[in-house]
Structure 1
């Protein structure tokens, strides 16, 4: 079905006069008549009928006009959005870990928007499980343009750009024997029950490697997926835990203790798909983040 014929149909339906419609469309009247006839032949119904010197829609034409108008409005809106995207405007869909959602990512987005104040760029922040693997799958499914997450090995289609570091600390509940300590060798914690991260969490592997350096593994009394949930269980007295140094720890009934040995820092990354087309606004944001990474 010819798109121009649909636009001709809508114009004629509004003006109800072939000569006026042809003039407005800047085509000849025979060309307009041929277009409408072709459309009616393809549909198998009459769209117009004569009424004096004018034409009016048939019942079929009225129903068709309503659907065609909606379809053209959607198409024109989409075309407009894509044209805006091509000029460096548009929407950027972001997934993020909670650990970077309060300070790191908002600072990057605010700086980028200030630098591109002449462009209309809309950031959409998506709720997720907070797990890096789910964010990576979201990138592959094209639900997200950018993910701020942990590094994942054996993901050849994903580009990881380091953007920030976060210290890992030991947290203990109030009244715990280690509460008076300001720093600790992680080996000293092996005797205490611990709250761990589930195997789906990127931190599970990180913490496992830390304890391998200590020459042993603690008793893990329970495992959960998110940082804040781990801290909540520690505050409730289930055990101690190794977690990222998060601002929320200052408001929970736990004591953060610096880990003197073994040394380790958690890195955060900006993850995007490799070798796929990305709109100019996304490319500009990636460049900005890479240049302003807090490392």
Structure 2
């Protein structure tokens, strides 16, 4: 079915006059008549009938008009979105760990400010706290870019470092360690702690730190998500060794430096290798790389 014929049909249906419709469409009247006849022959029904010098839709034509206009509207919308994307506009699907929301949103805002005349929309996805889930969505093309930790044995994914975090101790207000600015890890052993579960990449790291300091704390809870660990500490359920996330500065917890820990966690921007990226996605990726070139 010829797409032009469908557009001719819609124009004729609204003007109800072959000569006027042909003028609007910038084609000859015989060409318009031939297009409508071809369409009716393909469908096997009459779409128009004469009404004096004009034409009007048949019952079949009216039903067809409603569906054709709806279909053309969807098609035109899709074409417009793709044309915007091809010209460096459009939308991006960004997946990120919840602990990176402050960093990623700041980068996105800076990118928008750098291109105020472009129509750019970000769709942020933070429903999961696990890098493995995020990378699965990236490989399924649900996301354009992901911000997460490094995952080994991912040959299809390009990882670019964008941020560092060190481990700190956080305690709730009123805790005996609240007045401390630094602490040896062994000094935390007497207090119940909220630890990371085995689903988190931090679990073996923190286990090794405690093993090196010669003790093992009492585990109050095991949680996989950074933000939930921090929330439990702020509510008084225990203390925790946790990456120094920007959100901690706005929570009712005391952040204490760990004197015998030199561990750092590096966060990455992840994109699929050797796949087509829309211009706007490529530009945002380059923007992030330039901002973090010294990391």
TM-score (norm 1): 0.89
Point out where structure 2 has 5 or more consecutive residues left out of the alignment.
none
SS in structure 1 at match of 2:259: strand
2:78 corresponds to 1:72: no
Distance in 1 (alpha carbons) for counterparts of 2:11 and 2:57? 12
Q: Secondary structure at the match of 1:261?
A: coil
8 Å Cα contact 2:89-2:120 kept in structure 1:
yes
1:32 corresponds to which residue?
A: 32
Match of 2:154 in 1: 155
State whether structure 2 residue 15 is matched by structure 1 residue 7: no
Q: Give me the whole-angstrom Cα distance separating, in 1, the residues matched to 2:178 and 2:170.
A: 9
| Deviations 1:89-131, CA, capped at 9 Å, x for gaps | 11112222232222x2232122212222232211222341233
Range that drifts further, 124-133 or 11-20: 124-133
Partner of 1:204: 203
What's 2:243 paired with?
244
* Contact residue 171 and residue 255 of structure 1 kept, 8 A: yes
Give 1:180 shift: 4.4
Q: Is the 8 A contact 1:194 1:239 kept in 2?
A: yes
CA separation of 1:107/1:251 partners in 2, compared to 1, >3 Å: closer, same or farther? closer
Unaligned runs of 5+ residues in structure 1 are: none
Determine if the alignment matches structure 1 residue 284 to structure 2 residue 283: yes
Cα distance, 1:25–1:248 mapped onto 2, change above 3 Å? closer
Aligned to 1:122: 121
Distance 1:17 1:209, change over 3 A: farther
Map of 1:168 onto structure 2: 167
Find the counterpart in structure 2 of residue 107 from structure 1: 106
Distance 1:215 1:47, change over 3 A: farther
State the Cα distance separating 1:22 from its structure 2 match. Answer: 2.3
Provide the aligned C-alpha RMSD in A: 2.3
Distance, in Å, in 1 between the alignment partners of 2:4 and 2:208 is 64
**Inter-partner Cα distance in structure 2 for 1:54 and 1:259:** 86
Alpha-carbon distance, 1:232 to partner: 3.0
8 Å CA contact 1:138, 1:144 repeated in 2? yes
Paired residues of 2:170 and 2:253 also in contact (CA < 8 A): yes
**Secondary structure of 2:78 counterpart:** helix
- TM-fit CA distance, 1:217: 4.6
Taking structure 2 as the reference length, the TM-score comes to 0.89
Q: Secondary structure at the match of 1:278?
A: coil
Q: Matches of 1:94 and 1:274 in 2, distance apart? A: 16
Q: Distance in 1 between matches of 2:178 and 2:29?
A: 89
**Per-residue deviation, residues 188-217 of structure 1 (Å, max 9, x unmatched):** 445543211222233334434434544665
